[in-house]
């Protein structure tokens, strides 16, 4: 568990840099005056916004990992994520662009992250120690496993994101970078949720990371409109791997039929949750259009939909967490 704090903070810092770069480099490409404006605005026109929002979501996920799932870290991390989204809309409205703006936003983001992390560290040290050193309470393990599930589903969304043209080289770069960051968060949180960091689990974590990154590349290599099956396969591999890392191994071995059931859920569940979340948003809750208006961007034409796929991914990830964030055997027995 010693790795959790530095790795979590490092991944949060990487997310800040990705957010700043996305705001000043990718976002201008989706504006009406960008180089691909002949087909804007249409479905998925503001892909840069979704990649940026997923980078913002990665910041609190990294803090959850750094805090080893403790509520005193997780609660403020979620609040920080919400405030960062609000700040993002305000910054987007100002249309920053260029290297100077990137550096300025990154420095501001690092300052905020540093202050929040310092306050959380101070709070943790000031509070009385209620756990045995080197152990992770069951509730914290559930939080870490849930964070891994959220990061896993967001990985699928980032890997499969599209644009009206799918011709921007920056789209592939952004999707790959964001998905890779989320893979690292998913694997890191799952390993931190494990009851013990054994050689077998560490080796599994390395293998899962390689397999997931390869899966992300294969999803991006598939033609737009043909990514559903590769995405489902990626979800099955990544989320099943999360359960293998995070769940108990009674007697030193996994309960294989539990993981077989988890694999089935991991294959079908993300797609079901994504569709079930997206349809109401398109029909009844135009949240994406509201964010577009607040940022001062051109509205999507009436024939298409302004779907905030990053939010869809977050909600679907929480749904998967409700099913799979059960690292102890007792947690899973409650489902019977």
**Tens of pLDDT along the chain (336 residues)?**
678 899 999 999 999 999 999 999 998 888 765 444 454 466 677 889 999 999 999 999 999 999 999 999 999 999 999 999 999 999 999 989 989 999 999 999 999 999 999 999 998 888 766 555 555 688 899 999 999 999 999 999 999 998 876 666 888 999 999 999 999 999 999 999 998 888 899 999 999 999 999 999 999 999 888 899 999 999 999 999 999 999 988 887 888 888 899 999 999 999 999 999 999 888 888 888 888 888 877 777 666 677 889 999 999 999 999 999 988 766 555 544
Q: Can you tell me the distance from the alpha carbon of 192 to that of 136, in angstroms, rounded to the nearest whole number?
A: 9
Q: What confidence score (pLDDT) does residue 65 get?
A: 96
CA distance readout (Å), 37 to 31, 32, 34, 159, 170: 7, 5, 5, 23, 15
Structure confidence at residue 37 (pLDDT): 46
The Cα-based distances of 64 to 52, 71, 207, 259 in angstroms read 19, 9, 23, 25
Q: Give the pLDDT of residue 201.
A: 92
Q: Tell the burial category of 323 from Cβ atoms under 10 Å away from its Cβ (0-12, 13-18, 19+).
A: middle
Percent of the chain as helix, strand, coil, to the nearest 5: 75, 0, 25
pLDDT for position 36: 46
d(C-alpha 272, C-alpha 191), whole Å: 26
Domain count, the chain: 1
Reported as half-sphere exposure (CB side, CA atoms, 13 A), residue 3 has a value of: 14
Which residues form the domain of 253? 4-333
The pTM (predicted TM-score) of the whole model is 0.91
pLDDT for 46: 84
The two counts, helices (H) then strands (E), for the chain are 12, 0
pLDDT at 331: 59
- The b-or-e profile of 38-55 (16+ CB within 10 A means b, else e) is eebbebbbbbbbbbbbbb
Residue 35: what pLDDT? Answer: 43
């Amino acid at each position: 568990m010693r790795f959790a704090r530095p790795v979590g903070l490092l991944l949060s810092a990487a997310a800040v840099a990705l957010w700043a770069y996305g705001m000043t480099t990718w976002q201008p490409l989706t504006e009406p005056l960008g180089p691909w404006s002949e087909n804007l605005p249409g479905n998925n026109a503001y892909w840069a916004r979704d990649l940026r929002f997923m980078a913002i979501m990665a910041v609190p996920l990294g803090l959850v990992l750094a805090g080893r799932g403790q509520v005193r870290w997780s609660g403020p991390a979620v609040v920080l994520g919400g405030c960062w989204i609000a700040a993002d809309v305000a910054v987007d409205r100002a249309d920053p662009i260029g290297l100077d703006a990137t550096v300025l936003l990154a420095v501001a983001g690092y300052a905020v992250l540093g202050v929040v992390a310092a306050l959380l560290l101070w709070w943790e040290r000031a509070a009385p120690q209620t756990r045995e050193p080197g152990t992770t309470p069951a509730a914290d393990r559930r939080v870490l496993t849930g964070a891994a599930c959220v990061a896993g589903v967001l990985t699928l969304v980032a890997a499969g994101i599209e644009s009206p043209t799918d011709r921007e080289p920056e789209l592939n770069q952004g999707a790959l970078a964001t998905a890779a960051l989320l893979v690292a968060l998913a694997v890191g949180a799952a390993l931190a949720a494990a009851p013990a960091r054994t050689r077998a689990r560490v080796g599994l974590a390395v293998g899962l990371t390689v397999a997931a990154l390869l899966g992300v590349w294969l999803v991006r290599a598939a033609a737009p409109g043909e990514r559903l099956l590769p995405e489902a396969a990626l979800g099955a591999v990544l989320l099943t791997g999360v359960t293998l890392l995070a769940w108990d191994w009674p007697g030193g071995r996994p309960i294989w039929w539990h993981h077989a059931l988890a694999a089935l859920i991991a294959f079908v569940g993300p797609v079901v949750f994504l569709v079930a979340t997206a349809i109401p948003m398109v029909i009844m809750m135009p949240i994406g259009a509201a964010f577009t208006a607040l940022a001062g961007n051109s509205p999507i034409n009436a024939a298409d939909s302004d779907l905030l796929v990053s939010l869809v991914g977050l909600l679907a990830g929480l749904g998967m967490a409700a099913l799979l964030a059960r690292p102890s055997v007792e947690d899973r027995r409650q489902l019977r």
